[in-house]
Structure 1
């Protein structure tokens, strides 16, 4: 079975998502129920919810919303990667509240939508360091040219577990591999980082991509991180921009067809189960 480490739920009646206005293809509700129906058919047994960059005033409300969904009988939800603002003075108190819920498994601050130097701030770096010893992860969502910024943050917090989202967000549509390829090799040298195999169908040409279009990016990510340091994510509903959940699942199986049973199990469930104690 598969553990999906990157599900987004969008409920505009419950939470505010300012960024959706600039992305018309995603500016609608995407319910857990619709996701779960397709996920079960594809072999997904467990899911982590990934924050959806809600309005900052709704950050804790989003976690509470997902936790309510998780308490329903038969839910696939096992925890949440919650939004955070490490640049804010109130982060330490927020961290303690999140730890008390036991539902929060990690945090993310999307860095490619903010100034490049945000992660270089002293308070930001100090607060990321507070994750040491908590068992909570920090997801990095950066563009290829920002990977060196992520590396600097990682090197300052060697005892924190980082997760690099979406294979490092390569520009697959334009076939760009440099400097993405070199930066991926460098970031993977840090043992406290895992690579997330996710998102790539949304970065390819929606009309023309094939498994072979994705292969250089997925295989390089797995190659530099190794089978013990990769996890899988659907990035639903963003994956609908490139074909949808079932299409991405089928492409994943094709991409790793030559791997051993043990290697596939690590990518699709084992590593996630270990990292997030699922």
Structure 2
């Protein structure tokens, strides 16, 4: 069965764009992240995926990796993809709140025909260990104006946030029905309590009610470092129940989730969890939906 990995991060330290991967932290959401020190390139992804049973890597979606220069990152990724035969789509970094958001978008699009959309992380949390950006972008008029540009350019948006931000995100999705939003990391159930689960579950339902929102089943190990198939199963099945197999995509979040698993073990877990789905549903989850949402050529 084909696999199009809907969420990977590629980087090279030689570019000088990724100082945060030169000396990764030893504490925080990821715990000891020193294993991320070093490159992660297409050849590494292909080598990791080669050990999968029953899945053959047929493409990947690269998500920006907080480079110090977003345009230079795109230029490096374009060269990386040109040198390889694996189909690759790019989700690039743009500051939609900036006065020059349109200029940023146009510069990015001029740098690569592989661009399909934008990611600007939105995660805000009272605990500094989990807070990414320290500001509520969705409440800022300038950011909302920048977000509205995505429909004009035919771009989608990688929606990375926490459950208590999902109500606002659903309103955003309804206000911009021509923009596809892809919820990263299954909505990041960060508050691991019963109340936190309910907030996550209810937030998923609000977002799933918006037909222009899909969900990526990725990044679960970031909040479950000692994960098992049984610890992941409820989240995967809840997401499938809310969005349906036609709006769910599998992604590895490698090499980040490689801190907690090898690639083949993670993919085997996904396969085991959805083994009861029809063959057509499994094909959609592992490749078809990613190919459709990211307009990835075979």
Instruction: Give the TM-score normalised by structure 1.
Output: 0.91
Name the CA distance, whole Å, in 1 between partners of 2:14 and 2:176.
38
Answer yes or no: is 1:45 the counterpart of 2:62: no
Distance in 1 between the 2:166 and 2:19 partners?
26
C-alpha deviation, 1:103, in angstroms: 1.6
What residue is the counterpart of 1:178 in the other structure?
198
Q: Which residue among 138, 142, 155 is the counterpart of 2:161? A: 142
Post-superposition CA distance 1:235-265 (Å, at most 9, x none): 0011112213111101000010000001011
Could you tell me which residue of structure 1 aligns to residue 39 of structure 2?
A: 30
Q: Which residue of 2 aligns with 1:217?
A: 235
Matches within 5 A, 1:226-237: 226-237=244-255
CA-atom RMSD in angstroms: 1.9
Whole-angstrom distance in 1 between the partners of 2:13 and 2:193? 33
The answer to whether the 8 Å contact 2:13/2:39 transfers is no
Could you state the TM-score of these two structures normalised by the residue count of structure 2? 0.86
The Cα shift of 1:135 comes to 2.8
Stretches of structure 2 lacking an aligned partner (at least 5 in a row): 27-31, 124-131
The Cα offsets for residues 49-101 of structure 1, whole Å up to 9 and x where unpaired, read as 1101122xx10111111111111143x24221101110101110111222332
Aligned length: 273
3-state secondary structure, aligned to 2:264: helix
Describe the shift of the 1:215–1:34 C-alpha distance in structure 2 as closer, same or farther (beyond 3 A): same
Match of 1:161 in 2: 180
Contact 2:218 2:250 in 1 (8 A): yes
CA contact (8 A) 1:202 1:240 kept: no
Residue of structure 1 in register with 2:129 after alignment: none
Tell me if structure 1 keeps the 8 A contact 2:177–2:212.
Answer: yes
Task: Give the secondary-structure state (helix, strand or coil) at the position aligned to 1:106.
Answer: strand
The 2-side partners of 1:116 and 1:184 are apart by: 22
